[in-house]
Structure 1
Amino acid sequence: MSFLKKIFNKTEETQRKLTDVSQLLVGDIIVLTDSFALPEVLRGQQLQVTAVNTYEYEHGPQLEWTLQGSNSLLLFLSLDVDDATELKFALKVERDDVETLFDLDHFSEIFDEPGQAFLDKKADNALTSSWTSEQYQQSTFAKVGYFHRKDHRSENLSAYEGKDAGEQFELYALFNEDQSKGLDVEVWQDGETDVFLTIFRPLSDIVEMYPAS
């Protein structure tokens, strides 16, 4: 075997191949379909993985990939595994966005036991347009989880209190009628509250995946 052929074969062997979304690492790039079913900030975009974090729940860990495209907007991707596996994209929104979307008195009912809030959308703004649904029904109330700034595939998650422990939070979740769109609310121990608009899409919406060079 010639020297050049040896090098060529070695390069082929060591080159990562991406065949499944669950294999994504920091630096990898995904390309999305240009379907009008996607919000404009996702449509036809090339998005790079900038971080991989882990949400830990009683049923086990769940990966979250932070994505960034040509603009400064951060998006979040996870896999929703049920009868079928779907892509779950999340967009973090601020208080002003929430005030535009919902009546805040009704929104606060999310945190009232037993967790059966029903929300009607008031209006969208430029950011939230096509991310939202007209109505949402609550399905999750105060579900305890831990957020780890770690990729559990390569780093162990600490089961103990201390500097390596995850950040505890409570999750409140709502969905529209066909569960194609949702709303995740995370309440942290210091009282800070994060609100995410979520959209569920088929795996085929990712048309290409490129490993980091």
Structure 2
Amino acid sequence: MSFLKGLFGDKSPKARVIRHPRELMRGDIISLDNDFGLPAQLRDQSLEVIAINTYEFERNQEIEWQLKGAGGDTLFMTLVDDDEPQVHLSLKISRAEVETLFGLDAFGNIFEEDSQASLSTQHIPERLEQWLGNQYHEVSFALFGYFHREDYRGLKPPQDANGATGEPFERYELEDDSEQFSLEVEVFEGGETDVLVGLTRPLSLIREYWPGNHS
């Protein structure tokens, strides 16, 4: 049989190997480290890629992998291209959780143009343990972009004003002094607002990659 394969060529597809999170596709699964410094939603969890989105800004694009694990929480992952590449994972929080964490008056300072907002964490709900730093400072104010529910890796998102140009939004970003914890606020047209708490870790946080069935 091996002689026949060599004679006619082996046409069976090669098994796909994932070596880096940038190669992840919908249906793939990642297994995370069993690190007690991680939140429960991440520690020793297997998460499936359920969607891939694109944030389009004036000078760059950012790919977001939407993940779901056995616990039911939806998580979001992006890559951080610093001197040493890292992975950033985030979780959406509710208005009630924002009020518990920071107080709505203090949180509102994020949107004041000359305020250079600074937030202190007050009370941390059990669901958000190990997701938060103690003190945040604003690092990005009203960054304008378009959000696409599509994977545009290596492609330019549609620019036709009559086409699918994405959802316009403004992003406000805060981080703690260690630059490990973040708070992101995205305000869409009509006032819909998403608030996410996030953390940044080395790529080694991902222990294994499991290719999905893409046939």
Name the SS for the 2:19 alignment partner. Answer: coil
Counterpart position of 1:132? 132
- Cα distance change of structure 1 residues 174 and 6 upon mapping to structure 2, 3 Å threshold: farther
Q: Is it true that 1:93 corresponds to 2:84 in the alignment? A: no
TM-score normalized by structure 2? 0.93
CA displacement at 1:82 relative to structure 2: 2.0
CA displacement at 1:40 relative to structure 2: 1.0
Aligned partner letter, 1:47: L
Counterpart position of 2:40? 40
CA displacement at 1:84 relative to structure 2: 2.0
Counterpart position of 2:209? 209
- State how far apart, in whole Å, the 1-side matches of 2:42 and 2:196 are: 15
- Cα distance change of structure 1 residues 171 and 33 upon mapping to structure 2, 3 Å threshold: same
Contact 2:41 2:71 in 1 (8 A): no
TM-score normalized by structure 1? 0.93
- State how far apart, in whole Å, the 2-side matches of 1:177 and 1:137 are: 8
Counterpart position of 1:177? 177
- Cα distance change of structure 1 residues 15 and 172 upon mapping to structure 2, 3 Å threshold: same
Q: CA RMSD in A?
A: 1.8
Instruction: Give the length in aligned residue pairs.
Output: 212
1:20-169 correspondence runs (5 A): 20-153=20-153, 156-169=156-169
CA displacement at 1:8 relative to structure 2: 10
CA displacement at 1:2 relative to structure 2: 3.8
- Cα distance change of structure 1 residues 3 and 96 upon mapping to structure 2, 3 Å threshold: farther
Contact 1:115 1:141 in 2 (8 A): no
Counterpart position of 1:14? 14
Name the SS for the 2:37 alignment partner. Answer: coil
- State how far apart, in whole Å, the 2-side matches of 1:96 and 1:15 are: 46
CA displacement at 1:43 relative to structure 2: 0.2
Counterpart position of 1:188? 188
CA displacement at 1:19 relative to structure 2: 0.9
- Cα distance change of structure 1 residues 49 and 7 upon mapping to structure 2, 3 Å threshold: farther
Unmatched segments (≥5 aa) in structure 2: none
Aligned partner letter, 1:201: R
